[in-house]
Chain A
Amino acid sequence: MSILFFLSPWLVSFALFTLYPISYSFYLSFTKYNPISGQTPRFIGLHNYLAIFSDDRFWLALKNTIFFVIGTIPVTTSIAVILAVFLNERIKFRSFFRATYFMPAVTSIVVIATIFIYIYSPFGVLNSLLSLFGIQGRNWLLDSHFALPAIMAMDIWESFGYYTILFLAGLQSIPEELYEAANIDGATGIQQFFRITIPLLRPTLIFVLVINTIRSFQVFSEIFVMTQGGPIGATTTLVYYLYNMGFQKFRMGYASALAYVLFAIILIFSLLQMKVLRYGERIYD
């Protein structure tokens, strides 16, 4: 009873602010509901789910989102691992570098996005730098081929610091003796990295990949601030599309169904990642 008492603040807030909205939106996904109409949701069965699969804009948003996920996660993770290894060494100003790389992670994404709008503008810093090398710049966020990659580049810069810290924590749990033994055996630095560091970082790697996948599938703020899904839908991601449907077009039932389709996609990706990454785990146990 006392356990329940101590857990109750969390349980109450979880039930009110997480469980109830999740359950209610699941119910809404089977209804036609306009939040400003004053009418109650009307049950329409699977209609919203069936409509999603014949919706061209959904497929475009899904394509953009998968491009974003596939384009950012490997780069973010690779940079974070490499940086963590360097920052784990006894180098000068180590604490300063650690703090510097982590700083974007604690800065508001809206602030970062606003700064990058200026960096990417036709008269911005990026084009000025490129012009030094004789390369003609462009309006990055209004180019349908470059707008999404430009946002992805910003996302990578913004997020790798956070994952670096996670990898650093993982690295510090690897026993030093293993490296000493490898040195005695004559293993090179590269061999040590692939044979000791990476396998023993596997739990952290799985964690980072899974949470980064979930986060990347839910990309929204950057798009909302920088491009609002344009130009020509080139940066419309699933969550932005969902928001647009729910809060601009008032199709809350359809938006809820989109949320559950996204949930299913994230679940499948996460399970696949965990299965693939855990394959062979026992060898190292």
Chain B
Amino acid sequence: MKKLLALTLVVALLVSIPLVGTMGASKTKLSVWTFWKQSWVQPALDKFMAAHPDVEIEYQQLSWSNGFDKIVTAIAAGKAPDVMELGSTWMAQFIENKTIAPIDITAIKDEYSGWNGATGPDGNVYGYPWFGATNILYINADLAKQAGIDKCPATWSELKADSEAIDALSPGVRGFSIKIGGRYTTWQKFMPFAWSDGARVVSADWKEALVPFDRFVEALEYYNSLKKSSLVGTQDEVRQAFYLGRVGIIMDGPGLNLKKNAPKLNYFVCLLPKPDRPDTKSVGFSGADYIVVTSQSKQKTLATELAQDISQGNLISNHIKTLLPFYKPDLTALMSKYPDDPELKVYVEQMKNATSPAPHPRWVDLQEILTGAIESTILGRGSAEDNLAKAKKEMDSILAEYLKEQGK
């Protein structure tokens, strides 16, 4: 009897192993990589799985420190996820290399803003705009009051005057703050000044760098002139100083997170100031994140549907409200949820005029050169004009090399 029972168990086990394998294999697997907690994205995953019970989703949260390297190595190894999040500064390279797949936006084009950063030179769109962030001015209200400042600086001269007034309060307090260092900070904090002045980094046909021209030089000279009354430091250093009340004015975005890092700080928020000339406007930097489908995905139709689901529903903005959704109904919902939030209002207003650099596939090289020119000027290594002229030479050679590669 025992032998029979054992034999039955063994047979049952042997039969069930391939069955279990078949059961697992019957589900289609989709992998999703983003930089956020799974619980934040889960509502979209649940919605998708409810509509597709035969699909199983494997979610991975990437780290900000090495997530990009992980994406690159996975792609090189042919193990890219089906759906992933990409920052705007990375989109051009991925589009150029056809690493991400085009999507058809005919039916939903008007429902989103922010398509520009996902549009390739071939006119195709390569991802769903998820959310964007821009920078605004945060002003320490107590320091401003002591310095006799009672309104937002609307122009460059007002910003400079306010910075100098706060800086004069005490030797331990600086007026404005200039952030340098790292791969992105230096140029991302400076470029709003250049854009507001009407300057651009490269020409529309990508044949020439425009950095040494008048408006660009003027913007960098102005930025450098703020140095006398500013704290020059890395993003973390400057933020820390602002939290501690040692800096009066900081240009920052959602990462400043005053509620968490300096809950007792009295502050107000403003749009970025513009040059004094009437033909200018306040332009901010727009950093956007996209949800893309990789070219390696074997389930592109399903992956595209999942990507669209993730791009809707305020998944991130419900947790960090100043990361503004590009899906228009989501933005409306967010604004209705916080109708009296002054910070959100300023972010939304600034975002209307926010922009990002030309999506040139060699932007990584160009940003490095631009960063060098800005840092050299701020750190007193030559004039803005000389540094930008040198930068133009280097940028032009990269642009020419790119055109040559493209056979143009």
Point out residues on A near B: beta carbons under 8 Å: 34-38, 117, 121-123, 139, 141-144, 227-228, 230-233, 247-250, 252
Residue of B nearest to A117 (CB): B236
User: Which of B72, B246, B371 is close to A250, meaning CB atoms less than 8 Å apart?
Assistant: B72
Report yes or no: B181 in contact with A227, Cβ–Cβ below 8 A. Answer: yes
A contact residues around B379 at 8 Å (CB): 142-144, 231-232
- Given A123-B240, A228-B183, A231-B181, A249–B364 Cβ distance below 8 Å? yes
Report yes or no: B295 in contact with A38, Cβ–Cβ below 8 A. Answer: yes
- Given A35-B76, A36-B97, A227-B181, A232–B233 Cβ distance below 8 Å? no
User: Which of A123, A144, A247, A250 is close to B241, meaning CB atoms less than 8 Å apart?
Assistant: A123
Report yes or no: A141 in contact with B181, Cβ–Cβ below 8 A. Answer: yes
Report yes or no: A230 in contact with B182, Cβ–Cβ below 8 A. Answer: yes
Number of interface residues of B (CB under 8 A): 36
User: Which of A36, A122, A123, A252 is close to B93, meaning CB atoms less than 8 Å apart?
Assistant: A36
Residue of A nearest to B76 (CB): A35
- A-B contact number at CB 8 A: 81
- Measured CA separation A248–B366 after assembly (Å): 12
- Measured CA separation A38–B72 after assembly (Å): 11
- Measured CA separation A271–B367 after assembly (Å): 40
Instruction: Please report which residues of chain B, range 138-188, place their CB below 8 angstroms from some CB of chain A when the two chains form the complex.
Output: 180-183, 186
- Measured CA separation A100–B372 after assembly (Å): 41
- Given A37-B97, A117-B236, A248-B364, A122–B376 Cβ distance below 8 Å? no
Instruction: Please report which residues of chain B, range 32-73, place their CB below 8 angstroms from some CB of chain A when the two chains form the complex.
Output: 68-69, 72-73
Report yes or no: B98 in contact with A247, Cβ–Cβ below 8 A. Answer: no
A contact residues around B231 at 8 Å (CB): 122
A contact residues around B69 at 8 Å (CB): 247
- Measured CA separation A139–B241 after assembly (Å): 13
B contact residues around A142 at 8 Å (CB): 180-181, 232-234, 379
- Given A35-B75, A122-B233, A230–B181 Cβ distance below 8 Å? yes
6 A–B contact pairs at CB < 8 A? A35-B72, A123-B246, A230-B371, A232-B372, A249-B364, A250-B97
Judged by a CB distance under 8 angstroms, whether B237 is at the interface is yes
A contact residues around B241 at 8 Å (CB): 122-123
Shortest B297–chain A CB gap in Å is 13
Chain A to chain B: the 10 pairs with minimum beta-carbon distance, closest first: A35-B76, A37-B97, A36-B99, A36-B75, A121-B237, A36-B97, A231-B375, A232-B375, A228-B182, A247-B69
- Measured CA separation A274–B364 after assembly (Å): 41
- Measured CA separation A37–B99 after assembly (Å): 6
Shortest B185–chain A CB gap in Å is 10
Supply 19 further A-B pairs (C-beta < 8 A) apart from A142-B232, A247-B69, A250-B93: A36-B72, A36-B76, A37-B98, A38-B295, A38-B296, A117-B236, A121-B240, A122-B241, A123-B237, A123-B240, A123-B246, A142-B180, A142-B181, A142-B233, A228-B182, A230-B182, A230-B371, A232-B372, A252-B76
Judged by a CB distance under 8 angstroms, whether B94 is at the interface is yes
- Measured CA separation A4–B254 after assembly (Å): 59
Shortest B93–chain A CB gap in Å is 7
Shortest A73–chain B CB gap in Å is 27
Shortest A50–chain B CB gap in Å is 16
Shortest B189–chain A CB gap in Å is 14
Instruction: Please report which residues of chain B, range 71-104, place their CB below 8 angstroms from some CB of chain A when the two chains form the complex.
Output: 72-73, 75-76, 93-94, 97-99
Shortest A148–chain B CB gap in Å is 14
